[in-house]
Structure 1
Amino acid sequence: MFNKWGSAAYRFRKVIPLAILAIILAIYGIFGTKLDERLSQEGWDDPGSASTQAAKIEQEMFGRDSSGDVILMFEGLDRETEIKAYLDTLQSEHPDEIKQVVSYFDNHQELMRNGDTAFAAVALKGDGEQTLKDYRKIKPDLEFEGMEVAGATAVADALDEGMAGDIHRAEIYALPAVGLLLLLVFGSIVAALMPLLVGILSILGSIGVLSVLAGFTQVNVFALSVVTLLGLGLAIDYGLFMVSRFREELDRGQAVPDAVRITTATAGKTVVFSAAMVAVALSGLFVFPQAFLKSVAYGAISAVGLAALLSITLLPAIFGLLGKRIDVGTIRKTRRDARRIQDTWWYRVPAWSMRHAKALTVAIVIALLALTVPLFGIKFGGINETYLPPNNEVRQAQAHFDETWPTLRTDPIKLVIAGADNAELAQVYQQANQVTGLADRFKPVHPTKDGVTVLAAGISNRDDNGSVVKQLRAIDAPEGVEVYIGGTPAMEVESIEALFHRLPWMALYIVVATFILMSLVFGSLILPAKAVIMTILGMGATLGVLTAMFVDGVGAELFNFSPGPLMSPVLVLIMAIVYGLSTDYEVFLVSRMVEARDNGATTDEAINYGTARTGGIITAAALIMIVVCGAFGFSEIVMMKYIAFGMIAALLFDATIIRMMLVPAVMHLLREDNWWAPKWVKKASAALGHNQVVVAQPGRSGRPATGNNELVPFNELINRLQHED
């Protein structure tokens, strides 16, 4: 199948690039440019949870609770007249955005004053996404000497700006840095541009696809950063593997049409299955109810799929057009023909690992398990101002407000009570105020309407959210009375509960699906089992490192973030990404081993050959991905740092001790068992074109020496590689 695809790509090499470029630019131009206005700030909650139901009832009955939208704090009450005039002007100049301004300087309620500081609460008119749009219209006028700006919408805007900065940073710093790395790897300007071209087009296309999806379903703004990070990194990696294999085939003396076909049938097939496994890992996010996770999955899967599609369509066609001119613009002579593979670092390390297989396996497994230990101390929370840098003005203002007026926190716990008369309401009210951990007693948010009452109270410490919700659930409501626990604290608790309820199903789905896919790629049942176990070990170590950093605070000052509880959806997301990346590199490495094995190599020869031929490229790919992640590691948003550093840690583990040392050691110990599979698995693998690559024996002209094409025996292939110079 992939042989035919490669031949078709060469045959239509003049049409394919123009068609793909036109389609990508059209998708981006028509849809992608509208993405910003379609993205959502919402989607963190479980739609079927009690907190969501409580919010729905409150909004339908009383409208959106806008009391905590924007908080303006003023110091120096001797300027009362000046402050009042400013607030009056702000409201009069924005009648379409501001619903009301409740201010100490109007009502002189002592509740809104603390010493020499007082505040005004600005309620915005818009609902849903319009709330943030309204805030951004009044934001330029939120300038007054000594004034601090806080509130839920102000925090949301600061988080959104931080995410927008991530994309800009990737464009300004990551792409040029990646370009330089590719130039060092390939030594040729033209060859280096190929992976970059795939990366840029993949991002443009996936932005367009994301915009289309946003027209039908809720797409969280955070999805754009994840799509850019994952899509750009993997697209460049896939391009790197394709270019490397094409140049390798040219070096062997293959004619350009054969080099294109073989590249597509080998590296191209591997790219497709690798992308499929990343997509499968990401599709596990659909198990969870939060729209945030679903939107990230939509975007990331489209980016990965597009990267793979471009790699097996656009690149083979361009290879056919360029031929040996792919080395045009050479700035240094690469040494890909200068040494025997036995003399390379990538051959010697796995050879050493196999000589010390038992001791090395035990040592590495113990080390990875030790790095996993911090994971047992992980804590979960919700998104709030602490996800911003400690020196962020909005975060500092929100912390100041919460400390000065703890009973008026903008994220209170709520009770929505329906169907209660006064006596029943008093019974619920009395039980609610016996709950420990509250900053103050419950108070009505709105006057009772149609039998619905909303009570709210602040929680003294966010760490007590779970305890408070648990106590409130124990309220013995009178018969016929419905009590819904709502507010941000309840939403966070229920989000964590959804995580632990659905996580086993996600894990089972991902493991089974990737096991089946790898069985088809490798034609073995043992190799996929080994891959899954190693991926889990690596992921555990990665999550342990992340917990030590972002929960326990290792490196917090250096990287400018505050340690604390993590959002449960973000943990699920990083698990899917790390699992996908790990299996991605596993496929590239083991596929070359299987290829060598099916050409007559022994197990140890196949291990050495596969690692030697892919070690340098996998390392370069990991380094490029780390550079891309590094740009996002400087994000102002903690959860983006979490994902970026998680990917960096996973890549470091994968590209070094796991792929170069643990994989060769374990495969050496398994010996012939590595390749075992029932006959039906072998047949299914063969039906997908597995190990049916026809490699032409080149003559002096670079074309087949005879009219027959045949598989190159492994021993002859190794002999050629040893004497290429």
Structure 2
Amino acid sequence: MLGRLGRFCQLRRWLVLAAWVLLVAVGFSVGGQVFNRLEPTRGGSDSESIRGLDLINDVSPYDGQVVAVLDGIAADDPVLAVLAEDLELLGGVGQVSWPGSPDGGRLVADDGEAVAFIVDLERDLGDRDETVAGVESVLRLLERDGLADVIVGGDLRLFDEINEQIEKDIAFAELIALPITLIVMIVIFGGFLAAGLPIVGAVASIAGAFLCLLGFSTVIDLDPNVVPVTTFMGLGLAIDYSLLMVSRFREERGRGRSVEAAVVRTAETAGRTILFSALTVATALSGLFLFAEPIFKAIGAAGVAVVLIALLAALTLVPALLAALGHRIKAPTQPLPDDGAFARLATRVQRRPWSVALLVSAGLVLLGAPVLGVTFANGGSELLPAGFESRQVDEALAERFPGGGTDPVTVVARSTPAQLQAWAAGVLPTLPEGIVAAVTPPVALDDGVTVLSVVPDGTSQGDTAKALVAALRADPAPGESYVTGQAAILVDFQHSIASRAPWAFLLVALATLVLLFLMTGSLVVPVKALVMNTVSLGATFGALVWIFADGHLEGLLGFEATGAIETWVPVLVFAFAFGLSMDYEVFLLARIKETYDAQPAGQKDNDAAVRLGLQRSGRIITCAALLVVIVFGGFATAQMLGIKQMGVALALAVAVDATIVRCLLVPATMTLLGERNWWAPAPLRRLYARFGLRESVPVEPAREGMFAKLPG
């Protein structure tokens, strides 16, 4: 099938190229609109915190806030009353809270030299952006007249600034990664043309990814983190797959095949490996569908689509480009030796397999140790660079205003204010001392709903805040009631992840076992691969905590540690890094298995197959991993902290996997297991004989005109 596809792309190269040119043009011109459709998502709708939040939103007359801090003006300045009146007269403004409001004391800075305004917008506004712009322009009149320094934030402004920064981060990461990748590939291939083809495939994949994401945005909510995560995953895979295709094409040309024959042969061999690799990556991403949170489902759906786009580019666009330009690509004049650097490395490892396996395993476990002390948080404005006003507003509220900017734990109930007040009077005094900092009187909303806000001592998502959530839920308010707020959302988010993660891992593990069995015919090799991948991922998570939670390398990587890891990051690192690890596992095992199967019956030599397999795949794995590390390293330059954490974590995961695991741990363990590597029960051996997926295809007999005369 893949051979026929390669032949079609070779014969209809201009048609295929025209189709991809059209896709790229549409992808970048239309697909870029996806940035205007991003919307931060919350936890799963079945969690108590989200149901409570939805109830508040359903009965509240307001939706969205603009928050401003006016520095250098006294709370009793008469101009503030005029400002409040001007804001209330604006269309779309529902309520204005300021120092002159009944509860305005909380909006006066502790030093008395600044005030805050909170503007609640009406629900169902036709043009929310216009209303926000109008509010901001009125607030900045004080700055224009020299009466105060004004900074403007709030949830609506925060969403806009996050989307703005994410778009900049993606563009900057690609601007850094693509040129460096091109330079490295020129060194690898020794020519600009061969090096440029994977870049073309990567750019086309990005365009296709934007179109996919735009399509998904019409049916599901896309969190701002979906776009960069799926984009750099698609970019890395596209480069990996295109690199493998171009490398195999050059290898076939070096054996004397014509351009036409080399394209078909490349599709038959490397195309099979790429197809199998894409299946393993898509399988790893499919585990995200088992989580309740919309962000994981969205990234899972978008990620699988992006993997398919990268696969499609490698199997159609790259063969068409090779057919059109392959005669200008420099082919090697002699095959790679079977006794090169990677074979010698494998030989050294095989001399002391126990020492290598134990030392490497111990080192990976030690690297993973910091994960035992990890703290998670759902970040807000602190994820933005310091120059953004949304972050400056939140920092000013936290440092200078009563309550320290701590978000309250909110109790929402279908009861009267008197009932909720009576409940609070009975429950709150029984809580441990130091857990509650302040309590605001109950507020009646529409439809018989009342809200009570309890401010915890300490930070919004700290241990005290989470303990307060647990205490309030243990003695629920009268009637239909929920405990919500930032701390409650974090508690529910973590609980949902912890309860579903084992099932997601089980799904990914079983699917991976099946796929690797169908490739190798062994039960031992897939189990060993899963164990090694788990240990490798543990080391990655440990390094992630050590860097971002503990605050090491802040200056080098350009970030300010928050003391926590974004809650969603480990889940996505697991899915993406696991898929990429299996990607390289497939590359290596395919060559080892091919070599092992080629040995005569009764003369099988496992150690020789391992040496030769590593020698024949080590260079391509190392080059592919280097290019992917460059791509992820580009995203490590992001200013959004969550994206930076993802970029660094995936770059580390790929680097560790392609070097320490593939070049040391795999040869050591396969040497220790010997012929037991290829064991499977008799029924499964018969199953493999019938349905097994084999990367290699029989060598075609020479035909007239099949081989071209090559220089050297």
The answer to whether TM tops 0.5 is yes
Give the superposition deviation at 1:18.
2.3
> Residue 452 in 1 paired to residue 455 in 2?
no
> Secondary structure of the residue that 1:45 maps to in structure 2?
coil
CA distance in 1: counterparts of 2:135 and 2:66, whole angstroms: 12
Aligned residue in 2 for 1:268: 271
Amino acid at match of 1:9: C
Contact 2:20 2:317 in 1 (8 A): yes
Give the superposition deviation at 1:11.
3.7
Deviation sequence 1:499-551 (CA, Å, 0-9, x none): 11101101101101111111112232222111111110100100011111122
Aligned residue in 2 for 1:195: 198
CA distance in 1: counterparts of 2:386 and 2:205, whole angstroms: 35
> Residue 364 in 1 paired to residue 363 in 2?
no
CA distance in 2: counterparts of 1:537 and 1:555, whole angstroms: 24
Deviation sequence 1:159-181 (CA, Å, 0-9, x none): 33331221121232222221112
Of residues 635-644 and 114-123 in structure 1, the stretch that sits farther from structure 2 once superposed is 114-123
1:169 maps to which of 147, 168, 172:
172
What pairs with 1:639-718 in structure 2 (closer than 5 Å)?
639-677=642-680, 678=682, 680=684, 683-684=687-688, 687=691, 690-691=694-695, 693-696=697-700, 703=707
Deviation sequence 1:412-448 (CA, Å, 0-9, x none): 2100121458356512443145445555433246335
Aligned residue in 2 for 1:204: 207
CA distance in 2: counterparts of 1:267 and 1:141, whole angstroms: 62
2:489 maps to which of 481, 491, 494:
491
Deviation sequence 1:545-596 (CA, Å, 0-9, x none): 1111122222234322223222322221111111111111111111111112
Give the superposition deviation at 1:403.
2.9
Q: Could you tell me which runs of 5 or more consecutive residues in structure 2 were left unpaired when the two chains were aligned.
A: none
Contact 2:67 2:116 in 1 (8 A): no
Aligned residue in 1 for 2:573: 574
Amino acid at match of 2:301: Y
Contact 1:389 1:636 in 2 (8 A): yes
> Secondary structure of the residue that 2:329 maps to in structure 1?
helix
Amino acid at match of 2:694: H
Aligned residue in 2 for 1:545: 543
Q: Could you tell me which runs of 5 or more consecutive residues in structure 1 were left unpaired when the two chains were aligned.
A: 328-333, 706-723
CA distance in 2: counterparts of 1:155 and 1:410, whole angstroms: 17
Kindly tell me: are residues 676 and 433 of structure 1, through their superposed partners in 2, closer, same or farther at Cα, counting changes over 3 Å?
Answer: same
> Secondary structure of the residue that 2:324 maps to in structure 1?
helix
Of residues 606-615 and 134-143 in structure 1, the stretch that sits farther from structure 2 once superposed is 134-143
Deviation sequence 1:643-671 (CA, Å, 0-9, x none): 11111111111121111111111111112
> Residue 348 in 1 paired to residue 344 in 2?
yes
> Secondary structure of the residue that 1:99 maps to in structure 2?
strand
Give the superposition deviation at 1:111.
3.5
Contact 1:150 1:401 in 2 (8 A): no
> Secondary structure of the residue that 2:508 maps to in structure 1?
helix
Contact 1:556 1:563 in 2 (8 A): no
What pairs with 1:165-314 in structure 2 (closer than 5 Å)?
165-314=168-317
Of residues 695-704 and 185-194 in structure 1, the stretch that sits farther from structure 2 once superposed is 695-704
Kindly tell me: are residues 52 and 649 of structure 1, through their superposed partners in 2, closer, same or farther at Cα, counting changes over 3 Å?
Answer: same
Kindly tell me: are residues 534 and 572 of structure 1, through their superposed partners in 2, closer, same or farther at Cα, counting changes over 3 Å?
Answer: same
Deviation sequence 1:136-176 (CA, Å, 0-9, x none): 67557764252233433343333333312211212322222
Contact 1:409 1:458 in 2 (8 A): no
2:108 maps to which of 96, 108, 113:
113
Of residues 639-648 and 251-260 in structure 1, the stretch that sits farther from structure 2 once superposed is 251-260
Kindly tell me: are residues 130 and 654 of structure 1, through their superposed partners in 2, closer, same or farther at Cα, counting changes over 3 Å?
Answer: farther
Amino acid at match of 1:430: G
Contact 1:255 1:702 in 2 (8 A): yes
CA distance in 2: counterparts of 1:8 and 1:679, whole angstroms: 38
Give the superposition deviation at 1:279.
1.2
Deviation sequence 1:359-400 (CA, Å, 0-9, x none): 100111111111111111111221223323456553243122
Contact 1:282 1:297 in 2 (8 A): yes
Kindly tell me: are residues 61 and 700 of structure 1, through their superposed partners in 2, closer, same or farther at Cα, counting changes over 3 Å?
Answer: closer
Aligned residue in 2 for 1:717: none
CA distance in 1: counterparts of 2:126 and 2:455, whole angstroms: 25
> Residue 102 in 1 paired to residue 97 in 2?
yes
Contact 2:254 2:335 in 1 (8 A): no
- Using the size of structure 2 for normalisation, the TM-score is 0.90
Contact 1:2 1:689 in 2 (8 A): no
Give the superposition deviation at 1:406.
4.1
Aligned residue in 2 for 1:63: 61
CA distance in 2: counterparts of 1:324 and 1:597, whole angstroms: 34
CA distance in 1: counterparts of 2:316 and 2:686, whole angstroms: 27
Kindly tell me: are residues 572 and 692 of structure 1, through their superposed partners in 2, closer, same or farther at Cα, counting changes over 3 Å?
Answer: closer
Give the superposition deviation at 1:258.
3.0
> Secondary structure of the residue that 1:454 maps to in structure 2?
strand
Give the superposition deviation at 1:301.
1.5
> Secondary structure of the residue that 2:53 maps to in structure 1?
helix
Aligned residue in 2 for 1:563: 562
Deviation sequence 1:227-272 (CA, Å, 0-9, x none): 2111111111111111001101111112333322221122111111
CA distance in 2: counterparts of 1:382 and 1:642, whole angstroms: 13
Contact 1:697 1:704 in 2 (8 A): no
Kindly tell me: are residues 531 and 82 of structure 1, through their superposed partners in 2, closer, same or farther at Cα, counting changes over 3 Å?
Answer: same
Contact 1:465 1:493 in 2 (8 A): no
Kindly tell me: are residues 186 and 138 of structure 1, through their superposed partners in 2, closer, same or farther at Cα, counting changes over 3 Å?
Answer: farther
CA distance in 1: counterparts of 2:543 and 2:576, whole angstroms: 16
> Secondary structure of the residue that 2:512 maps to in structure 1?
helix
Amino acid at match of 1:694: P
2:412 maps to which of 408, 413, 416:
416
Aligned residue in 2 for 1:467: 467
Deviation sequence 1:611-667 (CA, Å, 0-9, x none): 122212211211111111122112122211111111111111112111111111111
Deviation sequence 1:48-107 (CA, Å, 0-9, x none): 0111111122222223464x5423232232993556666666666xx3454343222677
Aligned residue in 2 for 1:2: 2
CA distance in 1: counterparts of 2:274 and 2:387, whole angstroms: 43
CA distance in 2: counterparts of 1:648 and 1:142, whole angstroms: 44
2:395 maps to which of 393, 399, 420:
399
Of residues 365-374 and 102-111 in structure 1, the stretch that sits farther from structure 2 once superposed is 102-111
Give the superposition deviation at 1:694.
2.4
> Secondary structure of the residue that 2:444 maps to in structure 1?
coil
Kindly tell me: are residues 422 and 295 of structure 1, through their superposed partners in 2, closer, same or farther at Cα, counting changes over 3 Å?
Answer: same
Of residues 452-461 and 148-157 in structure 1, the stretch that sits farther from structure 2 once superposed is 148-157
Amino acid at match of 1:362: L
Contact 2:51 2:482 in 1 (8 A): yes
Give the superposition deviation at 1:700.
10
CA distance in 2: counterparts of 1:76 and 1:702, whole angstroms: 84
> Secondary structure of the residue that 2:69 maps to in structure 1?
strand
CA distance in 1: counterparts of 2:435 and 2:374, whole angstroms: 24
CA distance in 1: counterparts of 2:255 and 2:84, whole angstroms: 76
Aligned residue in 1 for 2:325: 322
- Using the size of structure 1 for normalisation, the TM-score is 0.88
CA distance in 2: counterparts of 1:161 and 1:361, whole angstroms: 47
> Secondary structure of the residue that 1:80 maps to in structure 2?
coil
Contact 1:25 1:205 in 2 (8 A): no
Give the superposition deviation at 1:216.
0.9
Kindly tell me: are residues 164 and 628 of structure 1, through their superposed partners in 2, closer, same or farther at Cα, counting changes over 3 Å?
Answer: same
> Residue 72 in 1 paired to residue 75 in 2?
no
Kindly tell me: are residues 86 and 63 of structure 1, through their superposed partners in 2, closer, same or farther at Cα, counting changes over 3 Å?
Answer: closer
Of residues 261-270 and 585-594 in structure 1, the stretch that sits farther from structure 2 once superposed is 261-270
Deviation sequence 1:678-708 (CA, Å, 0-9, x none): 4545654764651551223559976399xxx
**Count of aligned positions:** 693
CA distance in 1: counterparts of 2:439 and 2:566, whole angstroms: 27
CA distance in 2: counterparts of 1:71 and 1:511, whole angstroms: 50
What pairs with 1:629-644 in structure 2 (closer than 5 Å)?
629-644=632-647
Amino acid at match of 2:215: V
Contact 2:357 2:665 in 1 (8 A): yes
CA distance in 2: counterparts of 1:135 and 1:460, whole angstroms: 32
